[in-house]
Structure 1
Amino acid sequence: MDFIETILWPLRWLVELVLAFWHWALTSIGMNADSGATWLLAIIGLVVVVRAALIPVTVRQIKSQRRMMDLAPEMKKIQDKYKGKKDQFSREAMSRETMALYKKHGTNPFSSCLPILVQMPIFFSLFYVLRQASGAMGSGGNGSGQAGIGAMTQELTDSFNAASIFGAPLKMTFTQGWESGNWVVVVMLGAIMLLMIASQFFTQLQIMSKNVSDETKQSSMYRQQRIMLYIIPFAFLFSGLTFPLALNIYWFSSNLWTMGQQFLVIRSMPTPGSEAWRQRQARLKAKGKLTDDEKKAAEKGEEPTSPQGQRQQPMSAKRAKKKK
């Protein structure tokens, strides 16, 4: 057992437990224990458990990403202030002002990466679980499967090794499918790669096009992130070519969850001054849930504020009567 496997041991144990539970639950309602559909649903069940547990972290990440976009104009002012100044005093002063800006907005550049950083150990834990189950531990993928470290018994291991979807073994990689001539694996993984790239692109596009204020769209930071929008999704080519079908199904399902969750968050908590915010104001206005100040601001396309400068929450007519 190498160092990384040792560090991931507790997560591997939990991943095996969740997979075994879903497999047991699905077979208890009559599904075939060795069916690829059963294992496919068990993997999706793992996605549901992991992503549900990460909802608070993900919401925090979306808010942080929004704040990073909002502070772009102020960040540009700091950069312009110290442009061309390369002495140590200026660099330190720029760093202090930048950190003060992050503190003021309650964010930092690493907050937006938190959900991915949290998910990666789980992803690699599943990778080690499936690799051991498929007999790839030091045998080039052709050995017999080994029982896991917890709930993944030898019986479940053999069941996973027998599982396939439309003739595509869940344990097989793109390379193995190509070398063995299993074109179903090649086609399925190729399709999943394209779908993962498309889903990641659309997820980022939701933020860039609908949940960014008009002022932020004029900043250089926004333009840089627009470029990254077309680059980052292609990282999934590595995943599709390197990891087995089961692991790619996990990652693609997680992408779909992210896309749907972000749609709901942007719809309910949009960035003030963004296209999504204007659409939400229009919906609230149509339902009669805007305050007088919000109605005036909506007509001007501005964000309403309270006397203290805080955004007012929408209030229904019933609540407004009670308040009076």
Structure 2
Amino acid sequence: MLSPLLTSLSIWDPFVSIGSTIIQPLYWVVSGILVLFHSLWSPVFGEGNGWTWALSIVSLTVVIRVALIPLFVKQIKSSRSMQLLQPKVRELQKKYGHDREKLGAETMKLYKENNANPLASCLPLLIQMPIFLALFRVLDGAARNIPRGHWLRIHPELLDSLNGSTIFGARISDTFTKVGFANGITSVHLLTLGLIIAMTVTLFITQLQLMRKNMPMEALEGPFAQQQKIMLYVFPLIFAVGGINFPVGVLIYWFTSNLWTMGQQFYVIRRNPAPGTPAFAAWEERRQRHESHRHVAEPAVETGRGGVAVAESSRNGGSHAAAPAAPPRVVRQQPRKQARSQRRP
């Protein structure tokens, strides 16, 4: 009975080998960045301090997210194109609903003509997953005293420091499930639960602001909108359930990454919203208000008697104030010179 199972497991050996080959360079990169930032933060907090390692993980997150900015911009553009194309997609569904092959071909043609890629919105998440897995494995290895990554292997003292460092009484390598409840509710449970809630809330808000602020009303209907609504609740639930198995360091990484995404998306939606969306209407209102304020602040000059300027905008109050007119210049007439015969005797 075990032979078919063993045979099926051996089928996956090449894939396991390929995965190990891919993940090893990521171990090297992740551990190298951690060690680099650890050396930068150590003079501030100390080499063995948990905040040194926590800030090293935050710095690692920032480096990764900065490197992913070009992909994020591409994701925003593709997601916006997908949203704006939904009315045309529904027209194709009405027209070719009886022929799924023709519908698929016409839909892909529509996406290609408008430079929209349905998979582009998943690229940043897919690229982060190997890094996330590498960090998880590095921290999990530290909890087991297994050095994963070149830099932790050649610096075993850093491995011991990472394994034993604590913040708020919880080790960075601890997980919610690993500690157990033999000693009741501990600081590890409280910290991991707090990070899991923060991670889940930031992910939910990020997706919610995209759907509520930067989607036209037409895009909130149809199959694509239903998929977005499902992802709105499923993704945070998946991370909330899986978070109990993540080390504290991984939770710090994922919360920081979600917080970065939320702020980055808020900035993009506010400064460059998609047409026909509530965010675009708010942007138009802000622009018009700014234009009106600038118009009021500009100097307005009126002309009084004799072409004299009598009004000027008040820069401080923003209202027009009439400047007092200059008094007319009085020129005294000199008496005309008289002849001697005209003078009185």
TM-score by length of 2: 0.75
Which residue of the other structure, out of 30, 47, 50, is the alignment partner of 1:15?
30
Q: Deviations over 1:151-197 (max 9, x none)?
A: 22201101101101121111111111225536211121112222222
The 5 Å alignment of 1:146-165 reads 146-152=146-152, 153-165=155-167
The 5 Å alignment of 1:151-230 reads 151-152=151-152, 153-179=155-181, 181=183, 183-230=186-233
- Whole-Å Cα distance in 1 between the matches of residues 37 and 189 of structure 2? 27
Which residue of the other structure, out of 46, 50, 74, is the alignment partner of 2:88?
74
What's the offset of the Cα at 1:235?
A: 0.9
Which stretch shifts more, 185-194 or 265-274? Answer: 185-194
Which residue of the other structure, out of 101, 108, 119, is the alignment partner of 2:110?
101
- Whole-Å Cα distance in 2 between the matches of residues 149 and 47 of structure 1? 17
Which stretch shifts more, 172-181 or 186-195? Answer: 172-181
Q: Is the 8 A contact 1:5 1:128 kept in 2?
A: no
Q: Letter of the 2:177 partner, please give it.
A: T
Task: State the SS of the aligned residue for 2:275.
Answer: coil
Aligned CA distance change for structure 1 residues 7 and 221 (closer, same or farther; 3 Å): closer
- Unaligned stretches of 5+ in structure 2? 1-12, 293-345
Q: Which residue of 2 aligns with 1:120?
A: 129
- Whole-Å Cα distance in 2 between the matches of residues 149 and 240 of structure 1? 23
Identical positions, percent: 42
Which stretch shifts more, 14-23 or 124-133? Answer: 124-133
Equivalent residue pairs, number: 274
Q: Is the 8 A contact 1:146 1:154 kept in 2?
A: no
Q: Deviations over 1:181-227 (max 9, x none)?
A: 36211121112222222111100111111101133234453244224
The 5 Å alignment of 1:1-324 reads 3=17, 4-28=19-43, 30-83=44-97, 85=98, 90-135=99-144, 145-152=145-152, 153-179=155-181, 181=183, 183-288=186-291
Task: State the SS of the aligned residue for 2:45.
Answer: coil
- Whole-Å Cα distance in 1 between the matches of residues 210 and 40 of structure 2? 37
- Whole-Å Cα distance in 1 between the matches of residues 87 and 112 of structure 2? 16
Which stretch shifts more, 247-256 or 176-185? Answer: 176-185
What's the offset of the Cα at 1:270?
A: 0.5
Q: Is the 8 A contact 2:137 2:148 kept in 1?
A: no
What's the offset of the Cα at 1:280?
A: 1.3
Q: Deviations over 1:100-145 (max 9, x none)?
A: 011122112111100001100111111121122222xxxxxxxxx1
Q: Deviations over 1:67-108 (max 9, x none)?
A: 11111111111122233x2xxxx3321121011011122112
Q: Which residue of 2 aligns with 1:140?
A: none
- Whole-Å Cα distance in 2 between the matches of residues 238 and 67 of structure 1? 33
Q: Is the 8 A contact 2:203 2:258 kept in 1?
A: yes
Q: Which residue of 2 aligns with 1:301?
A: none
What's the offset of the Cα at 1:148?
A: 3.7
- Whole-Å Cα distance in 2 between the matches of residues 254 and 105 of structure 1? 30
Q: Is the 8 A contact 2:92 2:106 kept in 1?
A: yes
- Whole-Å Cα distance in 2 between the matches of residues 277 and 76 of structure 1? 23
Q: Is the 8 A contact 1:82 1:94 kept in 2?
A: yes
Q: Letter of the 1:149 partner, please give it.
A: G
- Whole-Å Cα distance in 2 between the matches of residues 209 and 74 of structure 1? 21
Q: Letter of the 1:162 partner, please give it.
A: G
Task: State the SS of the aligned residue for 1:108.
Answer: coil
Q: Which residue of 1 aligns with 2:4?
A: none
Moved over 4 A (4+): none
Q: Letter of the 2:133 partner, please give it.
A: F
Task: State the SS of the aligned residue for 1:287.
Answer: helix
Task: State the SS of the aligned residue for 2:151.
Answer: coil
Q: Letter of the 2:146 partner, please give it.
A: Q
- Unaligned stretches of 5+ in structure 1? 136-144, 290-324
Give the RMSD, CA atoms, in angstroms. Answer: 1.9
Q: Is the 8 A contact 2:206 2:265 kept in 1?
A: yes
- Whole-Å Cα distance in 1 between the matches of residues 225 and 135 of structure 2? 35
